[in-house]
Structures are given as C-alpha cells and as structure tokens.
Amino acid sequence: MYFLYVDESGDPGKFVENYSQNSRHFILSGLIVSQDDWIVCLDRLKEFRKSIKDIYNLNLKEEIHTSELIRVNKLQAYKKIKKRDRLKIFEKFILELPIIFSKSKVINICLDKTEFEETRDVQEIAWSRLIQRYNTFLSKSVSDKGIIISDTTDETLVRHLLRKMRIYNPVPFHFGNKRNIPTTNILEDPFLRDSKHSYFIQVVDSIAQALYRKEYVKGSLRKYRVEKYFDNLEPILLKEASTTDTLGIVRK
C-alpha cells in the first residue's frame, strides 16, 4: 500500500495581469510513501523537528508553513524568528527531505495558466495529470494499491474526477491515438487533512513552495538562493512523470 500526500500552490482561477489576488501558476506536488517506510519517515521527521526546536526554538507542534516562513502573516510563533533564520529552516527542510524520504518519490505538476484556454479548468487538469502518474507508478507492481491524502482543496471536484477516471481515463498512445486506462490502482475517495495536523502534508507544502520559487523567482529572495532549493530534491523526483522535463515536472 502507498500513500500519496498532496498540496497545491496557486489558485485555480483565471490569471489577470497585475492583479495580486490571483496567480499565473497552479502547482500540485505529491509525495509517494510506502506503508513499509511510513513509521521510519515519521520518526525521521520528528528528529528533524527536534533539531529545529533546539536551534530556532520552534516547537514541534508548530506547523512548518513555507509561505509563512518567507513572509509572516498568521503564524505568531514565526514572528519571534528572524527572516534569515526562517529561510534557513525552509532550506534545511528541503535539504533533509531526500534523506528522510530516501525510498519515496515526488510527482510535480506545474501549469502556467496563460498556456491553457480560459474555458479549461486548470485545477482539474492538474489533478488528472497527478492521478494518472500515481496510477502508473502503482501499476508497476501487480499487488500494490494506493490512497490519496490531500491538504484542503475542492474535495467535490477531486472526488468526482477520481471516480470518473476509474471508468474512463483516455491516455495518449501511438500516432495520436488514445486508449482507456482506468485508474483502478487508487482506492477510496481522497482523504483531506489540515496541514497543521500532518507533518507529511507540511512536507508537500514545502515542495510545492520550493517549485513555485524556482519557477517564479522573486528578486528580494535571490540573496537567500530560494530559487535553488527545489533542485536539492532531485534524488527523489519521479523523473519518468514527464519525458520532456529533466526533473520530471509535468507542464502540459
């Protein structure tokens, strides 16, 4: 059995230039963890959190929320930590992930909304791409099945999409043809978890944020090299998720 932990970055709405309330991108990052490695990974996460507490006095119960590490908004505990130290926490977290999850894989979907028709639902497109790649990963083993555990999202959309894909999932084949490959390896509807209650959801939040900062570099963060953080995840990226991207990032 495998768990796919998922988090989103960006909003699914139409992109409007120079309007701060929407994003040009929509990103999904998914962390695949085997049931056999789950306890080991949890113990490693706990050890990492203890080290962060010792250095920066950030309690284990406090959520690692990377957008807040970059710019504090809601989390009061972060206001006691200097910005350069908050970004060190972000960087240390990313650097540790290939060690903590040495036997896991990460799928990344990164859609630029300007490259899609306005009538298309980028959130549904992104989730369908993620589900397809996860199902393909699971299909490599005859007996392995999986479930999806996501941070807060449009639960109705994802539930309906997964149920539909269990019956009809057209996948491009040779010479422009398509064949139906139902996503029968994924069990149950997606389970939703609040990130503050799950270290694993906090992991995919950090991955999605690192990818966002790589794709859309902010000048004020260059001195911290935040745009380079994502590249440290290379050992655990599911590169076969995309044949057109060296890091396996799905963009279409």
- Tens digit of each residue's pLDDT (9 = 90 or more) over 78-111: 999 999 999 999 999 999 999 999 999 999 999 9
| Chain mean pLDDT for the chain | 93
Tokens 């959520």 — which residue?
A: 63
Structure tokens at 185: 């390896």
Q: What is the pLDDT of residue 177?
A: 81
Q: What is the pLDDT of residue 20?
A: 59
Tokens 């120079």 — which residue?
A: 18
Q: What is the pLDDT of residue 230?
A: 98
Least confident piece of the model among 51-55, 94-98, 179-183, 205-209: 179-183
Rounded to 10°, the helix 38-56/83-100 angle is 160
Give, as one character, the DSSP assignment of residue 147.
E
Kindly report the pTM of this predicted structure: 0.94
* 159, HSE (Cβ side, Cα atoms, 13 Å): 10
Instruction: Please report, for residues 41, 209, 240, the alpha-carbon distance to residue 1 in angstroms, rounded to integers and kept in the order given.
Output: 15, 27, 21
Is the pLDDT higher at 171 or at 235?
A: 235
Which fold does the domain 2-241 belong to in CATH? Nucleotidyltransferase; domain 5 (3.30.420)
Is the pLDDT higher at 120 or at 8?
A: 8
Query: What region, left, alpha or beta, does residue 133 occupy, with left being phi > 0 and alpha being psi -120 to 50 degrees?
Result: alpha
Tokens 């309007």 — which residue?
A: 19
Range 188-208 average pLDDT: 97
Is there a contact between 94 and 230 (Cβ–Cβ < 8 Å)?
Answer: yes
Range 135-140 average pLDDT: 94
Q: What is the pLDDT of residue 143?
A: 76
Q: What is the pLDDT of residue 60?
A: 94
Torsion sign across C-alpha atoms 209, 210, 212, 213: positive
Rounded to 10°, the helix 199-215/83-100 angle is 110
Percent of the chain with pLDDT over 70: 97
The answer to whether residue 120 scores a pLDDT higher than 90 is no
- CA–CA separation, 144 vs 185, rounded Å? 7
Is the pLDDT higher at 117 or at 151?
A: 151
Candidates 142, 104, 151, 148; CA nearest to 128 is: 148
Looking only at the bridges linking them, the beta strands covering 170-172 and 146-150 are: unpaired
The answer to whether residue 21 scores a pLDDT higher than 80 is no
Contacts of 217 (CB under 8 A, 6+ apart): 227
The answer to whether residue 208 scores a pLDDT higher than 90 is yes
- CA–CA separation, 67 vs 213, rounded Å? 10
Q: What is the pLDDT of residue 15?
A: 82
The answer to whether residue 176 scores a pLDDT higher than 90 is no
Range 232-249 average pLDDT: 97
- Strand-pairing partners, residue 171, are 179
Structure tokens at 34: 């085997």
